[in-house]
Amino acid sequence: MTPFEAIFNRKSIRHYRKEAVPDNILEKIQDFDGELLPMFPYVKTVTKVFREEEFSHKELMFQVRAPYYLAIYAQELEGCQENAGNMMQQIALYLHGRGVGSCFLGLLKPPKGAECPEGMKFIIMLAFGYPKEELNRDCSRADRLPLEKLCVFKQEPLKATSQLLEAARLAPSSMNSQPWKFVVYRNRIHIFVSEKRALKPVGKWSSINMGIMMANILLTAEEYWIDVVMTRSENLAEKTIPHYSYTGSVLVKP
């Protein structure tokens, strides 16, 4: 299964078998060497695999137990959280395609004493391994808001625009908060993030969630050969939704 196909089949896995993941997969997810689609190529990211035994009992208390955990670190630059979320989602989809389940973990930090790559900060952890439960879930069974709830349609979208939106809708997010909204024109999508602070912890992962959602858009664009440009327009005339702030736009080139 390709990473694109995995968008429609992946679910978070919270129970794992104690079976080793082959070295070539472990190596691959620590050295993608330019194979991932970055949102911000100028933000360097590094991934590192930890084994369950490297954490103390206390560190893993109340966490999803898995044989492996993948930490992603990024340079402390603007967009680093989005970029790391975007990269990690592509890795999660790659792993899914190889039969390996995963679950983002918002609260788990690298084990005490683990060195942070110089000039970088830790962003987010992904538990992974072979699942004890069913790996796949048909997207019709995913607990996600329908597009009518997520979008303000200003024009009839092109087929390509709709394909991007459907993939974005299916993205995982912390506590399934789905903090995004889309203002949709024929060939452009203006993207907004919720400013809601009621569920306080969710705000902390907002940028990571947005990066994860963008990974689904970028992989879909690549799959269907849709030429997209990511922009940030300063003209806010068509970009206001109460309680949401504008993050950027995706333009579908004709």
Ligand X SMILES: Cc1cc2nc3c(=O)[nH]c(=O)nc-3n(C[C@H](O)[C@H](O)[C@H](O)COP(=O)(O)O)c2cc1C
Applying CB under 6 A, the span of 33-41, 155-163, 168-176, 220-228 interacting with ligand X comes to 168-176
Q: Is 192 in the site for ligand X (CB under 6 A)?
A: no
Q: Is 72 in the site for ligand X (CB under 6 A)?
A: no
Give the shortest CB-177-to-ligand X separation in angstroms. 8
234: how many CB neighbours lie within 10 A of its CB? 6
Q: Is 98 in the site for ligand X (CB under 6 A)?
A: no
- Closest residue to ligand X, Cβ-based? 172
Q: Which of 14, 28, 98, 196 binds ligand X (CB under 6 A)?
A: 14
Instruction: Provide long-range contacts, Cβ within 8 A and 24+ apart, for 243-246.
Output: 243/194, 243/195, 243/196, 244/181, 244/192, 244/193, 244/194, 244/195, 245/192, 245/193, 245/195, 246/190, 246/191, 246/192
Q: Which amino acid is at 95?
A: L
Q: Is 7 in the site for ligand X (CB under 6 A)?
A: no
**Pick 96 or 239: Cβ nearer ligand X:** 96
The sign of the dihedral angle between the CA atoms of 228, 10, 142, 125 is negative
Q: Could you tell me which of 126, 188, 122 has the C-alpha nearest to residue 155? A: 188
Rounded Cα distance between 37 and 167, Å, is: 16
Backbone angles phi, psi at 207, to 5 degrees: -65, -35
Element (H, E) at 84: helix 80-97
Segment 206-225, which members bind ligand X (CB under 6 A)?
208-209, 212
**Pick 162 or 177: Cβ nearer ligand X:** 177
Q: Which of 3, 6, 11, 164 binds ligand X (CB under 6 A)?
A: 11
Applying CB under 6 A, the span of 25-33, 45-53, 171-179, 241-249 interacting with ligand X comes to 171-179
Using CB under 6 A as the criterion, which residues of the chain lie in contact with ligand X when the complex forms?
11-12, 14, 64, 103-107, 124, 142, 172-176, 205, 208-209, 212
